[in-house]
Amino acid sequence: MNEDEIQQALIDLLTQHNAYLQRLSSSAVNEILVRFDSVTSEALGQLLQQMNDLEDAELAILMSGRYTTPTLKQIQVSINDLQQSISVQLPEIMTASSVALTAYEAAYIYRIADKKVPAIDGESLYKQVKRKPYAGGQLVDQIFPNIAQNLRKKIEYVVRDGISNGQTNQQIIQRIKGTKRLKYADGLLNESRNHIDAEVRTARAHVSSVVYSDTWKALGFDYVRDVATLDGCTSLYCASIDGRIQKADGTQKKPPYHRRCRTVQVGCDETGSLSGLRPFVADGRPVRNIPKDERSGKIGQVNANETYAKWFARQDKTFQLNMLGKTRYELYKSGGFTIDKFVDPLIGTKFTIAELRQMDQQTFKELGL
């Protein structure tokens, strides 16, 4: 293959591979959630039984946040055990799948670059990954201890609040667990499930990103280019930095830039030029949810060098409005704001409308306008 064909194949492979990684992350998340559900179900059953054994005076003590009697101390131990189980058991599951992912991702980049795959120590690579912060300073080893601590605090809040409001022990536990009728989506535990889903997906994206970065450099690439996903689910930050070229010196910014980030980096030269095409979905829905008779024009391919900003400019009003919201859309269409102006370049968060106006007023003042 010539160089253009190689780059096209590279883009196709990485795009498809990223989609496969999303599916694999779903499997990893589900495996962790099965253990989470088992651990919490057992703990809540025990907590209900212990609360049923309390005297009225002990319930009043528990409501005040104290664990002074033997039975109350047992409840405290049970809550401590739940926190410890989440902090220890869930990371064990994640580590096993992440070590395998780390080794596979390193080998994958060598394969698509048509290079001999060296001996890869997945455990050693994963230890390096865990030492590097991502998505605003998160560390892999802090994920589950933070989730466990937060859940413990909220469970204690619900117990105290329930007693204070005269709820039965069963009603209190149901607030934590949720109702079967709503598939437990209304329970406190569902917040933790969603948190686990987001954190695990983001951590796995971090694993891939670090491995990709190190491997691109090992393969002789001096620069990397950010490649966001061209669809309606991409964050404004990733949309604004799509196409950004950075020197691959180890200090460059790397995805994941936020929770559930799908942006990847591709090795390139200093121009960042890519050959071939990249796919797009001009809709906020997954492809499987777009009726076949609505797909014409919504799904296709564009030049690989076209940035999200240029692609976005050609989309229809509905797509742009859904992506930006009414006020930002009006500012965008007025011609005074491009996508990158809606995002703080230092921390990656959206500017509020008030902040945008304040910055513009300062600019006008500096220009004497």
- The reply to whether 309 falls in a domain is yes
User: Residue 145: is the preceding peptide bond cis (ω within 30°)?
Assistant: no
SS3 114: coil
| Greatest alpha-carbon span in the chain | 81
- The reply to whether 213 falls in a domain is no
Please check whether residues 231 and 360 belong to one and the same domain: yes
- Residue 21 is part of which domain span? 3-201
- Tokens describing residue 18: 């990223």
**Final residue before a domain boundary, out of 201, 231, 250:** 201
- The reply to whether 212 falls in a domain is no
DSSP character for 46? H
SS3 268: strand
pLDDT tens digits, residue range 278-312?
Answer: 777 877 777 677 787 787 777 777 787 888 888 88
* CA–CA dist 351, 354 (Å, integer): 8
**What does the angle CA 344 – CA 209 – CA 12 come to, to the nearest 5 degrees?**
100
**pLDDT of the residue at 79:** 96
**Final residue before a domain boundary, out of 169, 201, 233:** 201
pTM over 0.85: no
**pLDDT of the residue at 350:** 60
Please check whether residues 187 and 310 belong to one and the same domain: no
- Tokens describing residue 165: 């409001």
SS3 138: strand
Please check whether residues 195 and 230 belong to one and the same domain: no
DSSP character for 137? T
Chain Cα centroid distance, residue 77: 33
Which residue do the tokens 């965008």 mark? 332
Q: Residues near 7 by Cβ (< 8 Å), separated by ≥ 6? A: 274, 275, 276, 304
- Tokens describing residue 137: 């300073």
Write the DSSP string, 186-210. TSHHHHHHHHHHHHHHHHHHHHHHH
Measured in Å, how far apart are the chain's first and last C-alpha atoms?
56
The counts of H helices and E strands in the chain are: 12, 6
Calculate the average pLDDT of the chain: 85
- The reply to whether 167 falls in a domain is yes
Sheet of 277-281: strand order equals: 230-231, 277-281, 299-303
* CA–CA dist 331, 335 (Å, integer): 7
**pLDDT of the residue at 96:** 92
Q: Please name which of 261, 209, 243, 259 lies closest in space to residue 101, comparing C-alpha atoms.
A: 209
- The reply to whether 186 falls in a domain is yes
Which secondary structure element, helix H or strand E, spans residue 264, and what is its range?
strand 264-268
Please check whether residues 40 and 185 belong to one and the same domain: yes
Query: What's the total number of domains in the chain?
Result: 2
**Final residue before a domain boundary, out of 142, 169, 201:** 201
Please check whether residues 190 and 79 belong to one and the same domain: yes
Please check whether residues 197 and 60 belong to one and the same domain: yes
Q: Given CA atoms 301, 303, 305, 310 in this order, what sign does their dihedral have?
A: negative
Please check whether residues 263 and 182 belong to one and the same domain: no
Please check whether residues 134 and 167 belong to one and the same domain: yes
- The reply to whether 208 falls in a domain is no
The burial of 100, by beta-carbon neighbours within 10 Å (0-12 exposed, 13-18 middle, 19 or more buried), is given as middle
User: Helix, strand, coil shares of the chain as percentages rounded to 5?
Assistant: 60, 10, 30
Please check whether residues 228 and 259 belong to one and the same domain: yes
**pLDDT of the residue at 37:** 96
**pLDDT of the residue at 357:** 58
* CA–CA dist 21, 212 (Å, integer): 14
**What does the angle CA 117 – CA 265 – CA 284 come to, to the nearest 5 degrees?**
125
Please check whether residues 191 and 229 belong to one and the same domain: no
Q: Please name which of 22, 24, 212 lies closest in space to residue 100, comparing C-alpha atoms.
A: 24
Q: Please name which of 82, 89, 63 lies closest in space to residue 165, comparing C-alpha atoms.
A: 63
* CA–CA dist 77, 75 (Å, integer): 5
Please check whether residues 134 and 70 belong to one and the same domain: yes
Residuewise pLDDT in 10s, the chain (369 residues): 555 665 566 666 666 777 777 778 888 999 999 999 999 999 999 999 999 999 999 999 999 999 999 999 999 999 999 999 999 999 999 999 999 988 888 888 777 667 788 888 989 989 999 999 988 889 999 999 999 999 999 999 999 999 999 999 999 999 999 999 999 999 999 999 999 999 999 999 998 888 888 778 877 889 999 999 888 888 889 999 999 999 988 888 999 998 888 898 888 889 988 766 777 787 777 767 778 778 777 777 778 788 888 888 888 888 888 888 888 888 888 876 788 777 755 545 565 656 555 655 554 455 555
- The reply to whether 210 falls in a domain is no
* CA–CA dist 55, 163 (Å, integer): 12
- The reply to whether 215 falls in a domain is no
* CA–CA dist 228, 231 (Å, integer): 9
Please check whether residues 275 and 155 belong to one and the same domain: no
